[in-house]
Amino acid sequence: MTVFRRAVLLAPAVLLVGGCGFQLRRAPALPFRSVALVGFAPASPLADELRARLAERVAVEAYPARADAVLQALADARERVVVASTAAGQVRELQLRVRFRFRLSTPAGRELLPPAELLLTRDMSYSETVALAKEQEQAQLYRAMDEDIATQVLRRLAAAKFA
């Protein structure tokens, strides 16, 4: 079959998909115009990810009194647990965890979202012979988990009743 024939046969299918209302998934709209982030550690990678994602949609205020909503981090922890080791005591497998507990309120203290906890885990093999590569893999896994948690937090913030 020639390229021209394939294009002619596929054109109606492309037009049907375009006309059905198909759209790429977009980030949810947030019910407030500004937000302040409080309770995070000074160098929290999760706070940086949330700040960047929120800044695309609303104003991120430095002072809670100026914001419409306050996202308070109740817990922001990274954990690294040994899951398997050899008889000689060498680590063979790790489990990486990111735990984020948060709540959303107004600056006056009215609760918009009750405290919620998100926990992500990833398993990772480990070998002392490639320790540097495993450190980089660990950093990439933590970065990906921070992105996942930020996406989940944005979805929950979009569901908040702000009235």
What separation in angstroms does the CA of 133 have from each of 6, 91, 144?
46, 15, 17
Closest CA to 142 of 98, 95, 100: 98
Structure tokens at 27: 């980030």
Q: pLDDT, tens digit, for every residue of 10-61?
A: 666 666 655 566 666 666 788 999 999 999 998 999 999 999 999 999 999 9
What separation in angstroms does the CA of 98 have from each of 3, 18, 38, 44, 146?
50, 39, 18, 12, 8
Q: pLDDT, tens digit, for every residue of 122-157?
A: 999 998 899 899 999 999 999 999 999 999 999 999
* Predicted pLDDT at 28: 72
What separation in angstroms does the CA of 82 have from each of 24, 27, 50, 92, 140?
39, 36, 28, 8, 18
Domains and CATH numbers, the chain: 3-158 (3.30.160.150)
Q: pLDDT, tens digit, for every residue of 75-87?
A: 999 999 999 988 9
Query: pLDDT class for 8, splitting at 50, 70, 90?
Result: low
Say if residues 142 and 120 touch (Cβ distance below 8 Å): no
Greater confidence (91 vs 17) lies with: 91
